[in-house]
Chains A and B, each alone.
Chain A
């Protein structure tokens, strides 16, 4: 007879182990999945998790990609983790990422051809504001009318995808693109281009900004009143109120942070790795970041590690798609699995399993 018994207090060891165990079981789950698809499980798993880093032919191309892919995911996840800790569910980071990129692009196109050093920072500011403004919709609707922020923020992702389509086929369309739905490329606009700082490293300004924000987030979370209040709000909202937190203000701040960082990520992406807006610009980073936030235990350092792991699966997925004909969507399956196993492993943080020989009546 298996019994689930509540622990008197949460186990921090179990909390630390859960992501590692979840990733381990996911690897096994992947192997099984590929076996079912008729692929060699060992080669497939190796292609996903090992080759991008260590394969002599692939790694030179894919290793820099790791930072390129991980930076936006980590940046968005950092923002989301604040809200998730406070029990505020912004599921629409993908939308805020897109609107941030649109806002930054709009500014960039407006200053097209300028060589001022201010163009790039102003575009960045526009990106942040674009994300914040878009995140304010679910925040204000929740605070003012009590509308469910999960549903509203998610609906807005679909709105943003359509807005993006409207922009790249309409006002922001590149007149020289022969009817392709895309904007001008920032590669042709040096003052606005987020260039690779070291050749073949994947290191661009966005990566540096991300590292800086990781450090700030870590300090705020462990040492600052705001980080403390966020945690209290999530664990016991009434206690937060009694300690002076104003819940409505907290909802707005959390959405502003997550929207702003998502917008910033969109800015770095459109000016750098993507180079321009297309209908395909929304690549799902906003959703991957949700998983990264959880897998990283909502802790900035954990999020960095989790972001690197999931970026690896994305790159591995792209490679496996080319070399092994594994569908690109396999990456989503892996992400879903990681979260399943993580949530399941979390049971042992609060409970322990007791095996009793006695059969319950």
Chain B
């Protein structure tokens, strides 16, 4: 049987890094083929080459046996290749039908398109209303829009880039059903992910990438998750271990915290209540966009709330701002590294100064002290950087994350609030960040860790609560929590 798509020795280099090096891969008709690798392993670049977004430096592709070199996504689509992006390529202010029309290469009036959308959505059980605005849709619904957009092109090859990262477990099951149905119709699916369990349940074959190269090709069903992980990561990283926790008094008590966002399409917070004790790590699970950012800002002090809705050490602090809270010992590390936690165009020294506690000097800055502080963070947290003068934007994701988390931990927070502590970070950096958070809790401080990554929460949290649709569930002991229990809560009342 000829492969639908065959890649031969594809290579793509960017200044300073070879993203893909001589990658070969055969995609057969009627198979779901996983491309497995860590962040930065070259998966995304590989897909962009197939989809015509970037051109390879060397190597060649064949499609059904004939040479294939797409110059643009348009030519890839006309050859029967469709792609569902990791960060959805949808237009928020436009309707579902308009979004789908934009994804089609032949011009079609919205009126003609609506019945077609209905047909496809019925055939595959993809519920969607064509006239709805994207901004009002959940992540799962948005993904369904993307998939319908692809299916209307009747593609032979469907590429999915990290499709489950924003989905609740139940939505993942629905997606898998659809993908299997497509495979059984004889279509080929390239499935990019770093999630081992789902690759084992869904995919027929897997190509494993590490550092831009193919390191192995396996049948995932025959491999254990641990074995796959080892192939993907290379050396094993010592997993952080939770010791026997000693809890002190309640440090943070949140009571009926509500927040109504100015943008009505965003989810706020409604009557959120929980408490965290000294020495404890509270994990807040849930899919991003369910009030996570709001909760983070409410705790960090970026957004103020009613005075008694947040009590710290017995004091009402809802009305105090960022600086007041930092003085009290509440430090926060934001999710978005470039732009929120750090200023991309500023040096590490300046970024160290950004949230450094200042008590003396009448507002005058001491740059040599800031430099010393930056060096201290770099050394303590093993941040790989040429120097403390380097701009934050020049660091890799993992190293910058270590820096911004380290900056707060180095100041000994009594309460540490962190949003997505290891999002998009390589395994080694993630392990070191998690152990640092565990150490902080072990020395008697409290942590609120907001994370989409359930595995991470099971690894570090003492108790886990779920934030869905702006409401928080009662925290459960991590020892008693299971993915299934949390999944039900995560789906909440969501569409």
Residues of A bordering B, CB below 8 Å: 5, 8-10, 223-226, 228, 231-232, 235-236, 238-239, 241-244, 246, 360-361
Assess whether A232 is in contact with B341, with CB atoms less than 8 Å apart. Answer: no
Name the distance in Å between B12's Cβ and chain A's nearest Cβ. Answer: 13
Give A360 to B56 CA distance when docked, in angstroms. Answer: 11
Assess whether A235 is in contact with B346, with CB atoms less than 8 Å apart. Answer: yes
Name the distance in Å between B296's Cβ and chain A's nearest Cβ. Answer: 10
Name the distance in Å between B293's Cβ and chain A's nearest Cβ. Answer: 10
List 25 A-B residue pairs with CB atoms under 8 Å apart, sorted by A's residue number: A8-B391, A9-B345, A9-B390, A9-B391, A10-B391, A225-B365, A228-B350, A228-B365, A232-B354, A235-B346, A236-B339, A238-B336, A238-B339, A239-B339, A239-B342, A239-B343, A239-B354, A241-B322, A242-B302, A244-B301, A244-B321, A244-B322, A244-B323, A244-B326, A246-B321
With a cutoff of 8 Å between Cβ atoms, the chain B residues found around residue A361 in the complex are 55, 69, 71
Chain B positions 1 through 45: 1 when the CB is less than 8 Å from some CB of chain A, otherwise 0:
000000000000001100000000000000000000000000000
Give A238 to B55 CA distance when docked, in angstroms. Answer: 35
Assess whether B363 is in contact with A242, with CB atoms less than 8 Å apart. Answer: no
Give A231 to B346 CA distance when docked, in angstroms. Answer: 9
Assess whether A242 is in contact with B344, with CB atoms less than 8 Å apart. Answer: no
Assess whether B302 is in contact with A241, with CB atoms less than 8 Å apart. Answer: yes
Give A244 to B324 CA distance when docked, in angstroms. Answer: 9
Question: Which chain A residue has the least Cβ–Cβ distance from B303?
Answer: A241
Give A236 to B345 CA distance when docked, in angstroms. Answer: 9
- For window 90-147 of B, CB contacts with A under 8 Å fall at none
With a cutoff of 8 Å between Cβ atoms, the chain A residues found around residue B342 in the complex are 236, 239
14 extra A-B contacts, CB within 8 A, seeds A9-B345, A235-B343: A9-B393, A223-B364, A224-B365, A236-B338, A236-B344, A238-B334, A238-B340, A239-B339, A239-B340, A242-B322, A242-B332, A243-B355, A244-B326, A244-B355
Give A243 to B332 CA distance when docked, in angstroms. Answer: 10
With a cutoff of 8 Å between Cβ atoms, the chain B residues found around residue A8 in the complex are 16, 391, 393-394
B300 CB-CB contact with A under 8 Å? yes
Give the B interface residue count (CB, 8 A).
37
Q: Pick the contact of B300 from A235, A236, A242 — CB < 8 Å?
A: A242
With a cutoff of 8 Å between Cβ atoms, the chain A residues found around residue B363 in the complex are 224-226
B242 CB-CB contact with A under 8 Å? no
With a cutoff of 8 Å between Cβ atoms, the chain B residues found around residue A5 in the complex are 15
Q: Which has the most chain A C-beta neighbours within 10 Å: B16, B300, B365, B391?
A: B365
With a cutoff of 8 Å between Cβ atoms, the chain A residues found around residue B339 in the complex are 236, 238-239
Known A-B contacts A239-B341, A241-B322, A361-B55; A232 and B358 likewise in contact (beta carbons under 8 Å):
no
Q: Which has the most chain B C-beta neighbours within 10 Å: A8, A10, A244?
A: A244
Question: Which chain B residue has the least Cβ–Cβ distance from A239?
Answer: B343
With a cutoff of 8 Å between Cβ atoms, the chain B residues found around residue A224 in the complex are 363-365
Assess whether B343 is in contact with A232, with CB atoms less than 8 Å apart. Answer: yes
B353 CB-CB contact with A under 8 Å? yes
With a cutoff of 8 Å between Cβ atoms, the chain B residues found around residue A228 in the complex are 350, 353, 365
With a cutoff of 8 Å between Cβ atoms, the chain A residues found around residue B302 in the complex are 241-242
With a cutoff of 8 Å between Cβ atoms, the chain B residues found around residue A239 in the complex are 339-343, 354
Give A231 to B347 CA distance when docked, in angstroms. Answer: 12
Give A360 to B72 CA distance when docked, in angstroms. Answer: 11
Chain B positions 411 through 450: 1 when the CB is less than 8 Å from some CB of chain A, otherwise 0:
0000000000000000000000000000000000000000
Name the distance in Å between A41's Cβ and chain B's nearest Cβ. Answer: 40
Assess whether B340 is in contact with A236, with CB atoms less than 8 Å apart. Answer: yes
Give A238 to B355 CA distance when docked, in angstroms. Answer: 13
Name the distance in Å between B261's Cβ and chain A's nearest Cβ. Answer: 15
Name the distance in Å between B79's Cβ and chain A's nearest Cβ. Answer: 15
Assess whether B391 is in contact with A236, with CB atoms less than 8 Å apart. Answer: no
Give A230 to B435 CA distance when docked, in angstroms. Answer: 35
Give A10 to B321 CA distance when docked, in angstroms. Answer: 33
Give A204 to B302 CA distance when docked, in angstroms. Answer: 46
Name the distance in Å between B450's Cβ and chain A's nearest Cβ. Answer: 15
Assess whether A10 is in contact with B365, with CB atoms less than 8 Å apart. Answer: no
Name the distance in Å between A356's Cβ and chain B's nearest Cβ. Answer: 11
With a cutoff of 8 Å between Cβ atoms, the chain A residues found around residue B55 in the complex are 360-361
